[in-house]
């Protein structure tokens, strides 16, 4: 108990203005981190690491140092280094997104506004037709972060966006219908592209491989993915690891326009209304 009073006495001797500024900056950093990680598996990890560090600091100050437990102090310092290394590995997707945000710059290859708007309508026509026929599809729209590592896993196409071509690619039985296609600006860059799947524990268990792939690619990049359910025909959009279900034609047009046409407007997120998940 004496250790507690001694510690509080030392804190009381500090300049209250400096303490307030320190606490304000620490609070802002923690708030920014929690907000950035909100809705991801990194949020729970961050909270756990934060609690562990705070509890360790209190124990270190009030017990280990006070009673001169040198061996425990040594073990704690080494364990802290291990925790930080594990945290860096665990937060790899989130750190990548953070660096992407910080260094986000550039724009799509130069194309006229009319061409890009026409591409949006072609995608809408294709997605609407596929949805009506309950033909599964996943279309990934590349933004600032290049998806070359994933494009290399598929079949290069480099064709103008046409609704008939998109429908043909995803038609069951064709050699390219499986997996995803990637679109860059007003071009279909590749088809039959293998995407990383989001872990089952981090998404709804009812989601199928297409929806998990859409979530997976948008967690590791700033891409946006449009998904058509093979089972229900429902249209979904994934961005920043979040999946919106039951997207209607008007909302699809608005969101595709934000991504493809309005290249200078890169919102942090779109409308996110909870949707009922269905098994793919």
* pLDDT tens track, the chain, 280 positions: 555 556 566 666 777 787 788 778 877 877 777 676 665 556 666 677 777 777 766 766 666 556 666 666 677 667 777 777 776 776 666 666 666 656 654 444 445 677 888 889 999 999 999 999 999 999 999 988 888 888 888 999 989 999 999 999 999 988 898 899 999 888 999 999 999 888 766 566 678 888 999 999 998 888 999 999 999 999 999 998 888 999 999 999 998 888 887 643 344 433 333 344 433 4
Structural domain includes residue 106: no
Structural domain includes residue 17: yes
118 and 231 part of one domain: yes
Question: Which residue range(s) make up the domain with 256?
Answer: 113-261
Q: Is the pTM of this model over 0.85?
A: no
Vertex 255 angle, CA 253 and 258, to 5°: 110
58 and 180 part of one domain: no
Q: What is the pLDDT of residue 113?
A: 74
215 and 77 part of one domain: no
144 neighbors 223 (Cβ within 8 angstroms): no
249 and 120 part of one domain: yes
Structural domain includes residue 97: no
Q: What is the pLDDT of residue 280?
A: 42
pLDDT digits (tens, 9 = 90+) for 120-133: 999 999 999 999 99
Tokens of 188: 């279909």
137 and 203 part of one domain: yes
Q: How many domains does the chain have?
A: 2
Q: Which of 21, 55, 90 marks a domain boundary?
A: 90
206 and 126 part of one domain: yes
pLDDT digits (tens, 9 = 90+) for 181-227: 999 888 999 999 999 888 766 566 678 888 999 999 998 888 999 99
**Burial class (CB within 10 angstroms; exposed 0-12, middle 13-18, buried 19+) of 238:** buried
Q: Assign residue 159 the CATH number of its domain.
A: 3.40.1700.10
136 and 252 part of one domain: yes
Kindly report the number of other CB atoms within 10 A of residue 122's CB atom. 19
Q: What is the pLDDT of residue 229?
A: 92
Structural domain includes residue 210: yes
Rounded Cα distance, 61 and 49, in Å:
18
Structural domain includes residue 194: yes
244 and 128 part of one domain: yes
Residue tagged 């802290």 (tokens): 80
Structural domain includes residue 10: yes
Tokens of 142: 């590349």
Structural domain includes residue 256: yes
Q: What is the pLDDT of residue 22?
A: 77
Structural domain includes residue 75: yes
212 neighbors 194 (Cβ within 8 angstroms): no
Q: What is the pLDDT of residue 6?
A: 63
247 and 153 part of one domain: yes
Q: What is the pLDDT of residue 217?
A: 92
181 neighbors 223 (Cβ within 8 angstroms): no
């Amino acid at each position: 108990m004496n250790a507690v009073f001694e510690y509080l006495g030392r804190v009381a001797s500090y300049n209250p203005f400096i303490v307030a500024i320190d606490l304000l900056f620490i609070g802002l950093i923690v708030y920014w981190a929690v907000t950035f990680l909100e809705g991801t598996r990194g949020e729970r990890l961050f909270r756990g690491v934060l609690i562990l560090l705070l509890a360790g600091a209190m124990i270190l100050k009030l017990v280990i140092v006070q009673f001169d437990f040198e061996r425990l102090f040594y073990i704690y310092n080494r364990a802290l280094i291990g925790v930080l290394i594990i945290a860096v590995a665990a937060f790899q997707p989130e750190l990548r997104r953070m660096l992407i945000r910080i260094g986000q710059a550039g724009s799509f290859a130069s194309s006229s506004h009319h061409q890009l708007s026409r591409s949006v309508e072609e995608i809408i026509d294709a997605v609407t037709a596929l949805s009506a026929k309950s033909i599964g599809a996943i279309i990934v729209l590349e933004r600032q972060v290049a998806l070359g590592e994933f494009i290399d896993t598929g079949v290069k196409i480099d064709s103008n966006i046409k609704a008939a071509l998109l429908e043909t690619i995803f038609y069951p039985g064709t050699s390219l219908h499986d997996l995803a296609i990637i679109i860059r600006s007003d071009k279909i860059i590749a088809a039959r592209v293998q995407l990383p799947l989001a872990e089952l524990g981090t998404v709804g268990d009812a989601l199928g491989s297409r929806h998990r792939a859409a979530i997976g690619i948008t967690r590791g990049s700033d891409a946006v993915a449009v998904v058509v359910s093979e089972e229900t025909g429902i249209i979904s959009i994934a961005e920043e690891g979040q999946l919106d279900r039951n997207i209607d034609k008007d909302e699809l047009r608005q969101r595709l326009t934000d991504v493809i046409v309005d290249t200078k407007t890169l919102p942090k997120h779109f409308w996110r209304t909870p949707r009922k998940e269905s098994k793919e």
